[in-house]
Structure 1
Amino acid sequence: MIENTKCECGHNNPIGTILCEYCGKPLLEETKEKKTIEQEMRYEGKARRSQIKHKNFIDQVWSFFSSVKVAIILILITLIAAGIGSLLPQERVAATSNPELFYSQEYGIWGEWFYKLGLSDMYNSWWFMTLLAMIGVSLVICSLDRVIPLYRALKNQKVEKSTDFLLRQRISYQESVADEKKEEKFDALTTALKKRRYQIRQEGDSILAEKGRISRWGPYINHIGLIIFLLGVLLRFLIPGWYLDQAMYIQEGQTRKVPDTPYYVKNEKFIVEQYDGKFAGIPKKYQTKLILYQQDSSGNLKPVHRGSAIVNHPFEYKDLFLVQVDAQTNLKGIKLKLMDKKSQQSKGTFLVDLGNIKPNQVYTVGSNLEVRALEYYPDFALENGRPITKSQEVVKPAFIFEVKEKGQKEGERSWVISGENADALTPENKYVIKLAGFEMIPTSGLLVRIDKSLPIIFVGGFICLIGLAMGFYWHHRRVWIRYKDGVLYLGAHTNKSWFSLRRELNQVGKQSGIDLKLVQE
C-alpha cells in the first residue's frame, strides 16, 4: 500500500509528490530550501509512478524505461549502429547472391568482418529491431509516466494557492492593499488579463488566469507521432510482403520472377534515346517496356498489367513499383566452333545461351556431330581440386562438353573455361572447342519496391509535426492572484519565454493602473 505525505494544510499527498496537490507548498526539505520552485512545476509537483517505492519487477522495469537518460542512450546507440551500417552497402543494395564472397572481394578484410559481424544485413537483424522496439517502449512509458499526473494536476488545479507557493514562483509580486481597494485591484487586473486572452477563474479572494495550456501537450503529441512512425518502420520487417527494396536485372525478351512477390515480369523491349548534335552519344532516356504476369489456378502466366519503367517514372501496379535505375549490355551467349585438332578444320559453330542452359542440352554441329553440355559453372573456381561456382552470376563461365558423332554411344569430354579449350586436361581428344564470338543483349536494371507502411509512417510524421508546432508556438502561462491579510500576492509561471511573460505582466500592470514591481529570480 502506497504511503501518503501530509502537508501543513492537512492534505494527504501520494508518496513522491513534491508540491502539495492542494495548496502548492513544497513537501521535501531540499525543495523548501530553494528560493523558487520553477523546476518542480514541470509536472506540477505531482507524484509519478517511477518515483514511488519499487514493489515488484514491473515497477522496476517501468522505472528503467521512464528515464529520459535511458531513452537518449538507446537513441544514441541506434544512431551509431545505423551510421556503422551505412559505411558499406547493405546486401539488398549490393544485390549479390553470394554476399560473403562479395564483401571480402570488394572491401578486403574490412568487408569480411563487416559481413561476419552481421552488419551487411543490419537493418533486418534481430538486435536492431530490438533497439527500435526498446525506443518505442521507452517513448510509451516516458509519456504515460508524465502525461497522466500532468493531466490530473491541470484538470483539477486549485485556484487558491498558498502565499508561499506564489512568492516562490520565478516571477512574483506583493503589495499592501486596503480592504476597500481590493475589488478595484481585482477588477483592473482581470480586465487587463482578459484583453490578453487569459481565461479567468475566481474563488473568493483568489484568481487564476491561464492561457496556452495546449503547449503542455505538444511533447506528448510528438511522442505519439514518433511511436506511430517507429511502428510503421517495424511493420516493414515484421509482416512479410510489407516492404521490399531489391534490385533485379532482366534481359530484353526475358521473363523473370519478381523477387519475394507472386508476380513475373517480362522485358518486352529496352529503349535508349540519345541526344543529337553537341551532346551526341549521351543517353537522353532509358525506357523498359514491361509486361507483368501472375499465375492463374492452373499455373499458367496471365498478364495483369502493361506499361513502361522510365527514369523518375516507375512502372506501378497496386503496391508494386518497378523503378528504372540502370542499363547494361550483358553477355547473352557464347559462340563456339568445333575443330579437328589435327587438320585444324572447322566442323561448324554452335551458340550457348547462358541464360537458358538446360541439363544435358544438345547442340548439333555440322551434319553428324553432337555437343552435349554435361556441366555448367557460371562463376568457375577450384576448391580442394574440385570445380565449383562461386555464384550464379555469369563471371567466368566454364563447361564440360561431350562431343560425339551421331549414333556413337560415348564421346570425348572437353573442358571450356571462359571460351578457351583446356587442352592440357584432355590431350588425347580428337576435337577441340574454341571461341568464335559473343552475343550481347541489352539488360535493364530495375529496383523492385513495395512499401505498405508508408501511410503509417507519413501519419506518424504529420502527428509529430503537429506536436512540434504545439510545443514551439504556444506558451502555457498562468498568473495566480490572492488577497490575504491586507496583502495582494501575485505569482506567475510559464513553461518557456520568461522574458516575454515579464514584459506582458508589465503591460498588464500599466493597463490596470498598478505599478507591478515584479521580482524575478
Structure 2
Amino acid sequence: MKEIKCECGHVNPEGTELCNACGRALTTAADNKKTSDVMRYEGTARRSQTYNASVVDKVWNFFSSVKVGVWLIVITLIVSSLGTILPQVLFIPPLIPPEQYYEEHYGWFGKVYYVLGFHDLYNSWWYMLLIAAIGISIIIASLDRVVPLYKALKNQRVNRHESFMKRQRLYTEQKVEDPDAAMAAIKKQLKEKRYNVKEIDRHLLAEKGRFARWGPYVNHTGLIIFLIGAMLRFVPGMYVDETLWIREGDTVAIPGTDQEYFLESEKFVVEFYDADEDPEVFNAAIDRVGSIVKNFQTDAMLYKREEEGIAGDQRELELVQQKAIQVNEPLKFDHFAIYQVNYKLDEFRSMSFNMTNKETEENVGSLTVDLFEPQNVYELNEGFRAELMGYYADFTGFENGEPQSQSPVPNNPAFLFKLFSPEKPEGEVAFIAIQENLEPLGENEYKLNFAGIETRNVSGLTVRKDLTLWILGLGGAIFMIGVVQGAYWNHRRLWVKVTDDGRLLAAGHTNKNWFGIKKDVAHAFKGTGLKEITDQQEIEDNNIKAREAGEENSLDTTSKH
C-alpha cells in the first residue's frame, strides 16, 4: 500500500480520509464532505478502498458493497415468492412423480417450474448458493468495516486539530476569562453524566456509549449464526421432518433413523364428545358439524435394532419403551419426537369373495384377498381356483379399455380375475369392483360374490428431529442483542481544547440522538460562562429553507408582473 503523510507528521495508510492522529482531511473528497459524513468509520482506511489488484481483492470488494448485499436479499425474496406460486413437492400427492404431476396439472408452466427447481425451492442447490452468498456478503462487509473501526476507536487521540473540530456538527468557539477553570468544570460535570474523560495538555476527550457502535456487527454475527443453523438443516442427520402413516398391527422403520428404530402400532383409539356430557356446550356444535373428536392416540411400542443385527431385520429388535402418542404428548427418544397429527378410520385391509355357479347358485369355494399383499393364485375346492390377473387398489375408471388406479392405497379396490372350473378349464375372465361385476369377454358360468370386508385404522404421525434449534435460537438471541444495543444506546463524544491565545473550542459528535448529546453539553457548560453549543446542521438547514422561500417569493413576484 501507498501511505499518506499528514501535515502533523503522522503516516496513514492509503484510503484514510481523516488523519488518525489529528483529524485533518487527507483527501480532496474528504475535505469537500462534512466531517460527520466521514466519521461513520472514523475516516479510517478500509480494505475495499485500498486493494484492487488481485482476484481476491475484486471478490472482496464485490461482496463488501452494501448495494450488493441488498440486491442479494432482494433477489432471494423474489425467488422465495416465486416458490409460492405452485405448491412445493412436499404438498403434492406422494405417489405421483413430481415431473409428471406438475406437467399434468399446470401444463408447460408446471414443466418449466419443475425443471428450474422451483418445486423444491428451499432444497435446490442454487437457492443454497443465494443464501451462502448473503452470508458471505454479511461477513466480508462486516470485516471490511469493523476492523478499521476497532483500530480507530481503540487508539482515539485526545488532541484534535482545530479544522477537525470546526467541521463537526456541534461546535462552539468562545473566549472565557479563565479557560482552565472552565475546562475543569466541564470535566467534572461530564463525569456526572458518566462520561469517560481523558485530558492531556489542555485537551479533553469525553466519551460514553462506545459499545453501541458494535450493535450492527453483533446482529450481523447473530444473523450469520442463524444462516449457518438454517443451512445445517440440509446436512443428513441434523434435521428430520417426515410423515409416517402406520396401520394397526404393523411395525415400520422410523424415517431418519437409518432403520435403527422401529415403531409398532398396537392399537389406534379415537374418542368423540358426547352431547350428554354437557348439553349446553356440545349440542349446538354437534348439530352443526356432526361428531367432534375429543382425543385420538396411537398405542405404540418403540423398538431398537440390536447392534449385531442386520439393517432392517425386524427379528433382532429390543423393546425400548411403550407409550400412547397423543396430539400434545409426543414419543421422545434419541433427539427424535413422534407427534400424533392425523388419522384415517376403517381403511380396507382385506376383501372376501364366494365363487358361485350363476345358474344353481352353488358356492364352490371362498377366497380372501389381502389388499396389501395379494396372492397370484387362490386355490378353492378341488378343481376350482382363481388367478388374480390385475389389482387396482384405487380404481378410478377405464381409459382406452384399461382399468386405472391413481394410488396404491386401497381406497376403492378392483380386481381382474380368471376363474377356473371343471366345466371351464380354460378359465373365465371377471372384473370385480365395489358395486361392479363385469364380464368383459362374454357371459360366464361362474361369478365372484362379495362376502365380507375387514378394515383397520391408520394413524398419521410426524417424525421430527432438529439438532439446529439451539443454533437458530443462539443466532436469534445474539441478533436481538445487537438490535437493542444499536437502537437504545448511542456513541457520544465531546472534544474540548484551550488554544494558545486563550480561546476555548468545543465540538461534539454522536452516531444518533443529537438531542441527547446537546442536553449533555448544556449540562457540561452549566456555570462555566460558556454559551450554548451551536448546531451547524440546523443553521445550514434553516439557511437552505430561507433561500428556497426567497426564490419562491421572487418567482411569485415575477409571475404577477
Q: Distance in 1 between matches of 2:390 and 2:142?
A: 64
CA contact (8 A) 1:419 1:435 kept: no
Question: Shift of the alpha carbon at 1:496?
Answer: 1.1
Q: Distance in 1 between matches of 2:379 and 2:334?
A: 46
Task: State the 1:439 CA deviation.
Answer: 3.4
Following superposition, the deviation at residue 438 of structure 1 comes to 4.1
315-324 or 25-34, larger mean C-alpha shift: 25-34
In structure 1, the partner of 2:16 is 17
Deviation at 1:134, TM superposition (A): 0.8
**Aligned positions of 1:105-504 closer than 5 A:** 113-178=112-177, 181-237=178-234, 239-261=235-257, 262=259, 263-277=261-275, 278=279, 279=282, 281-296=291-306, 297-298=308-309, 299=313, 300=315, 301-329=317-345, 330-343=347-360, 345-355=362-372, 357-358=373-374, 360=376, 362-365=377-380, 369-379=384-394, 391-394=407-410, 397-404=413-420, 414-416=430-432, 420-424=436-440, 426-427=441-442, 429-436=444-451, 438-485=453-500, 486-504=502-520
In 2, distance between residues paired with 1:223 and 1:514? 42
Would the alpha carbon gap of residues 415 and 195 (structure 1) be closer, same or farther in structure 2, given more than 3 Å must change? Answer: same
Deviation at 1:187, TM superposition (A): 0.6
Q: What is the CA-CA distance between 1:364 and the residue it aligns to?
A: 4.7
Question: SS where residue 38 of structure 1 aligns?
Answer: helix
Distance 2:348 2:114 in 1: 29
Q: CA RMSD, aligned part only?
A: 2.8
Structure 1 match to 2:534: 518
Q: Find the residue that maps to 1:515 and give its secondary structure.
A: coil
Instruction: Judge conservation of contact 1:420–1:435 (CA < 8 Å) in 2.
Output: no
Quickly say closer, same or farther: Cα 1:90–1:309, change in 2 above 3 A: farther
| Paired residues for 1:1-40 under 5 Å | 2-34=1-33, 36-40=34-38
CA distance in 2, matches of 1:273, 1:395: 23
State the distance in 1 between where 2:330 and 2:509 align: 55
Contact 1:228 1:456 in 2 (8 A): yes
Assess if the C-alpha contact under 8 Å between 2:190 and 2:520 holds in 1: no
Separation (CA, whole Å) in 1 of partners of 2:48 and 2:489: 28
With 254-263 and 485-494 compared, the bigger mean Cα shift is at 254-263
Counterparts in 2 of 1:127 and 1:87: CA distance versus 1, 3 Å:
same
Find the aligned partners of 2:105 and 2:246 in 1 and give their Cα distance.
24
TM-score by length of 2: 0.84
Per-residue deviation, 1:131: 0.9
Give SS of 2:59's match: helix
| Worse-superposed segment, 408-417 or 68-77 | 408-417
Distance 1:344 1:516, change over 3 A: same
Displacement of 1:220:
0.8
- Say if 1:420 and 1:434, in contact at 8 Å, map to a contact too: no
CA distance in 1, matches of 2:388, 2:425: 16
In the alignment, the residues of structure 1 paired with residue 30 and residue 267 of structure 2 have an alpha-carbon distance, to the nearest angstrom, of 78
Structure 1 residues 419 and 156: alpha-carbon distance in aligned structure 2, compared to 1, 3 A threshold = farther
Deviation at residue 163 of structure 1 after TM alignment: 0.9
Q: Percent identity?
A: 41
Q: Deviations over 1:380-401 (max 9, x none)?
A: 6888987776543345544443
Q: Which sits farther off after the overlay, 11-20 or 456-465? A: 11-20
Closer/same/farther in 2, CA of residues 358 and 333 from structure 1, 3 Å limit: closer
Secondary structure at 1:46 match in 2:
coil
Contact 1:310-1:324 within 8 A present in 2 as well? yes
- Cα distance change, pair 21–286 in 1 and its aligned pair in 2 (3 A): same
Please give the alpha-carbon distance, in whole angstroms, between the structure 1 residues aligned to 2:89 and 2:330.
23
Q: After TM superposition, give the deviation of residue 141 of structure 1 in Å.
A: 0.6
Give TM-score, length-normalised by structure 1: 0.90
Equivalence for 2:547? none
Q: Helix, strand or coil: the match of 2:325?
A: strand
Report the Cα distance in structure 1 between the residues aligned to 2:381 and 2:514, rounded to whole angstroms: 96
Query: What is the deviation of 1:57?
Result: 0.6
Extract unaligned runs of 5+ from structure 2. Answer: 538-561
- 1:29-88 deviation digits (Å, cap 9, x = unpaired): 133123x31121111011111112411111000011111111111112222222232344
In structure 2, distance between residues paired with 1:394 and 1:481: 87
Q: Distance in 1 between matches of 2:336 and 2:147?
A: 43
Q: 1:316-363: CA deviations, max 9, x gaps?
A: 1122111111122223233334333454554454332223x1553x44
**Does 363-372 or 458-467 show the bigger shift?**
363-372
Output aligned runs, 1:95-106, within 5 Å: 96-100=94-98, 101-103=100-102
